[in-house]
A and B are shown apart, each in its own frame.
Chain A
């Protein structure tokens, strides 16, 4: 059976586009990996795959092996060195698996249509049936290594990709011996009413299809001006929490906008912050004036210094506990 190497499958859904599904998927994957789990990411957004870009592996191609496709490795399981700075790493290692050599980090691999296209600018102009077939193939023909978590990043909406994805997954998981394999869905929203109204549709979609909602993440909640440190709620605030309460699903947390994270993804620059920035009780690495941020190192290792890392640490810990408690 395909997916037999995968212990838990988590969907990342949102009715609205551009709320940060891929960005949240990326950060969930990085954080899970930092906590020592092995993670796979499957991108089923066929007409706009962004996962390769997020992990900085755009040039990579999928290899064909007997029996299926080999997903692209972002990094292998390894021990990350603990940084001896005032960075976030200290706190995190204490939380994850503390060891002499460093932080135990799980492997991370990805699969996306972006790896198959010959030219990154090419449009994938497919009608529903072709998309359905591709989604099925992604679920059955990818040779995942042993995974603790498989995150599935979806396109916006509730249409062909979603229907096919759930049809295939529900058929597989209900017939298998592990009914908890499809752990549930993380629903992403931004705080504005416009986004909330679309995401409510997605929550109803989960209800109708019987997928458990693991929780709601509110993304783009607030932006801290790097100059004056005043927090401005560009897309208003609190909408996600209210919606979660209305639908009686857990609220996992608010994620602010962090330009340093955008920089990390877009240019691979190590996140640096103004002096005295403290997030969730942890001091961030200071920005030194006139020094260009360095680009060396693995994405996962640089991400530890991002101000969003502690936020996700909390979200992921809750998720993992929740999923494990149902095993």
Chain B
């Protein structure tokens, strides 16, 4: 149940001030609250032309705008979608502080948890991610459990989805900030994820329910992701990537920027390496993340790999080769090791069955 009149007033205020929060405060101050301002608007007491000068207030058909504001809130209520305004207690603390904080947030799920968490981490990265990016994201996020922190991301394909998934699997509270309305699932393939987040996390959007994801909404959505969290962790970003917009938002608001390093010839991770070069925190283990969020953590070193005894000659060779290169394909292994093609196929299948390696797009194999 939401207070329709109150939120309709806030929505209307936001619209007639064209999102200018200072002007909203001024109107609220002048009339003694959002609802009062609305009532004044109904009575025709607001002179749109003269209040703070003509250019600030939207004076095109204020009555229609009021009707629309009411309809939006009514619709939200019917759909069971919650609404918060900046003045509410449950509104994310840190988000309130950013320069262009959204006046209203629509949400589905337990939004109050965001403020109750000890710390919030935004995890972002490319939609078209590499196996390395996806796996490391999963590994690092799942090591953050039992710390009472929450993971914020955008429910996009690739890294975002991996972050949400890892969080859900490790019982970490997770926040998905959408560029569409909270009731519009995009991309469709993440519907399962969407339902799970709605159940045990929270879905947030500044767009009114039913809004389709337009291109222009995504950068705006990214500022909310960065704005909610103390630190933003960029897992994988190419030279020009949406993740970099999020990273810039975080820096502009004075938040911590954590970045995972990539191979120097990696195209998918070029943006990450650049950010590290420019002074972002380089994340080589989950400890780096925890330390920058103010938790205690112990550094962990990489251990040399142990090959199990049960493997035969070819399997050992193939596994060692893949481990050394992190990923490889049959053709390359055949060329480098000189083993016959059918022997390699056997070894790869066996290693995959026993869970040492994993097959990815294009029959590339990765170690686990």
Our verdict on whether A and B bind, yes or no, reads no
Show the binding face of B for A, using Cβ within 8 Å: none
